[in-house]
């Protein structure tokens, strides 16, 4: 049963509204002024609050201010016998759901209550969604093996800091997922998460991509452009496959990390930045340093915290969890009923040599969803998991 609070210094008005609402099946409580109403609203959760504008001790506008301060989000319907446009606008700006003038109209009250209930339902759904997101935040990394549990523990410890992190591991192991989890569990989570794949950008364009450029800096620079460091200001910049970055770009990244300052290509103006950098690579950077392909000073700037993501072959015990996780996602994406992976199918998946890691497993699950029946068997996995054979 929905609970409603009526705040009005006129007893007759309170009783009139109460009778209407109780007849419609609502549970109703009363308060004769704003202070009493605030005390009730602070200690009890109401689905809707009716509040008069003109009252002694605390008027309706002051009551709205107090509700906002207390972060009480019950929909408030303002009522007044002295209504005017200015008062109504002021009330709505301060968060009132609606404004009703006296004398009160029965139909208007009931319509407004119904609309306020709809809004309240949305508020509750939003609360539940936020709790759900919070509960699952950081747990999108699927797995219970020792290596994955250590990564989750490391994320919990490191994420709230601004420490730079270097994530290593083979292609397809989920390095980007670790980077996103670090950002989403950090104090920067409401700021941008900007990703740059250093291997996918030609070496002659990487500096412009990272630091931006001024108009006319080079032939195709027809207008000024902000780089990824600027776009990620206040948030996190994820430099994926940093082992493939050119040495000239490495020098500029080093300066940006040392001084928190960048310069756009074609400009000598210093731009102050506050960007957390997380990097990832599938290469052995210490070997790349010996070969002269990677700067040792940049390595030490990036590798304040090291996180290694194990290959799927090193965590075969996680394959059942991962397979069922992808099965639910892919069946939903394709709009088909949830299919079943039987025990023989799981056994066959655990026998595969996963050169493509998590990415390869997801692709195979998608292939099985498309090509197989309601129950995916071990024979299906043998037939479709490696189509070259």
2 vs 139, residue with greater confidence: 2
Residue 187 · residue 234 · CB < 8 Å: no
Least confident of 87-96, 187-196, 248-257, 343-352: 87-96
Whether pLDDT at 206 is above 70: yes
pLDDT of residue 139: 45
Listed by start position, the domains of the chain span 3-134, 146-310, 313-384
Tell me if domain 3-134 and domain 146-310 are identical in fold.
yes
Percent of the chain with pLDDT strictly greater than 90: 63
54 class by beta-carbon count within 10 Å (0-12 exposed, 13-18 middle, 19+ buried): middle
pLDDT of residue 344: 96
Whether pLDDT at 137 is above 50: no
Q: Label residue 82 by pLDDT band (50, 70, 90).
A: low
**Phi, psi (rounded to 5 degrees) for 235:** -115, -140
Q: Label residue 140 by pLDDT band (50, 70, 90).
A: confident
Q: If you classify domain 313-384 with CATH, what class do you get?
A: mainly alpha
- Output the average pLDDT for the chain: 89
What superfamily in CATH does domain 3-134 come from? Response regulator (3.40.50.2300)
What pLDDT, in 10s, does the model give residues 274-299?
999 999 999 999 999 999 999 999 99
Q: d(Cα 214, Cα 198) in Å, to the nearest integer?
A: 21
Q: If you classify domain 146-310 with CATH, what class do you get?
A: alpha beta
Q: d(Cα 208, Cα 226) in Å, to the nearest integer?
A: 9
Tokens representing 310 are 């194990």
């Amino acid at each position: 049963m929905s609970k409603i609070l009526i705040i009005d210094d006129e007893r007759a008005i309170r009783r009139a509204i109460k009778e209407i609402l109780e007849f419609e099946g609502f549970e109703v409580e009363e308060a004769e002024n704003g202070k009493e109403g605030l005390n009730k609203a602070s200690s009890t959760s109401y689905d809707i609050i009716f509040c008069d504008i003109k009252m002694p001790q605390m008027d309706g506008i002051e009551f709205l201010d107090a509700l906002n301060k207390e972060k009480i989000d019950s929909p408030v319907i303002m009522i007044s016998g002295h209504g005017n446009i200015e008062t109504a606008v002021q009330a709505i700006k301060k968060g009132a759901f609606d404004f009703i003038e006296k004398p009160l109209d029965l139909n208007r009250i009931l319509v407004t209550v119904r609309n306020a209930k709809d809004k309240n339902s949305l508020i509750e759904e939003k609360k539940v969604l936020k709790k759900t997101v919070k509960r699952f935040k950081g747990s999108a990394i699927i797995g219970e093996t020792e290596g994955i549990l250590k990564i989750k523990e490391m994320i919990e410890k490191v994420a709230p800091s601004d420490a730079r992190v270097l994530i290593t591991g083979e292609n397809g192991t989920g390095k980007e997922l670790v980077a996103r989890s670090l950002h989403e569990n950090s104090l920067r989570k409401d700021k941008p998460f900007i990703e740059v794949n250093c291997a996918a950008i030609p070496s002659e364009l990487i500096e412009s991509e990272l630091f931006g450029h001024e108009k006319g800096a080079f032939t195709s620079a027809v207008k000024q452009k902000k780089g990824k460091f600027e776009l990620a200001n206040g948030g996190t910049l994820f430099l994926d496959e940093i082992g493939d970055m050119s040495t000239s770009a490495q020098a500029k990244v080093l300066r940006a990390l040392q001084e928190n300052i960048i310069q756009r290509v074609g400009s000598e103006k210093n731009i102050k930045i506050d960007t957390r950098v997380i990097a990832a690579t599938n290469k052995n950077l210490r070997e790349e340093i010996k070969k002269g392909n990677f700067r040792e000073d940049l390595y030490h700037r990036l590798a304040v915290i090291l996180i290694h993501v194990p290959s799927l072959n090193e965590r075969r015990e996680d394959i059942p969890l991962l397979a069922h996780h992808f099965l639910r996602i892919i069946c939903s994406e394709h709009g088909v009923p949830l299919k079943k992976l039987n025990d023989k199918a799981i056994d066959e998946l655990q026998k595969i040599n996963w050169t493509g890691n998590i990415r390869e497993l997801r692709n195979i699950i998608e292939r099985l969803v498309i090509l197989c029946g309601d129950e995916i068997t071990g024979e299906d996995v043998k037939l479709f998991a490696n189509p070259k054979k």
